[in-house]
Amino acid sequence: MTTLGYYASVSTVTSGAAAGSAYAEIQPFVIVGSDSSSMGIVEIGFSLATATASSVGLIEAATQGTISAAGTHLGKSERVGLPLGVSVGNLGTAWTLAPTISGTPSFFRREERPAVLGDRIVWTWPQETPLKLANTGSLLLWNFGGGAGSALEIYVRWIEGVVLSQATILQPFSHS
């Protein structure tokens, strides 16, 4: 595998989410000179900030939300030498127009967490095959349960730049 890029991350505390709404939204954030098409998520972690049973799912948004200025948390490059804040990722926790999901949702991950303060989950993807985020798309941490969920301590870590592996390199097609 060849990696031409670097890691970036962001963390924050969300407010609790009402049933059928977003805790947080992961969006690409285009900065001049960056390559937002190469944002590949390798890790998402969260813990319950209150002792409230919570349903948390990771799902692609049907419509991207409009993140308010107060709800914007820009990713920070983990590459030494790059100025802080130069990143292609944005974690939103408040919206002027909330994101939505499809009527028949299909989640990447789902967790039902008990009412235990600090209960923690970490979802990972291999560096070679990260969860890719399209330039115009977004991912949501969504409350799929029937009641309000806990506030979440959340972090997201991703690769920016080009990541190649045998699985992503196209091979010539041949007939036999």
One digit per residue, the tens of pLDDT, for the chain of length 176 reads: 444 567 888 889 998 899 999 999 998 865 555 444 567 899 999 999 999 999 999 999 999 999 888 888 888 877 766 665 556 788 899 999 999 999 888 999 999 999 999 999 999 999 888 998 877 789 999 999 999 999 999 999 988 765 434 333 333 333 33
At residue 81, the pLDDT reads: 67
Contact 53, 43 (CB under 8 A): no
Distance (Å, whole) CA 155 – CA 39: 15
Per DSSP, which regions of 29-151 are E strands? 40-48, 54-60, 66-67, 72-74, 76-77, 89-92, 95-97, 109-113, 120-124, 131-132, 139-143
Domain boundaries, the chain: 2-164
Nearest alpha-carbon partner for 163 in 134, 126, 113 = 126
Q: What global pTM score does this model have?
A: 0.82
Token pair belonging to 78 = 């983990």
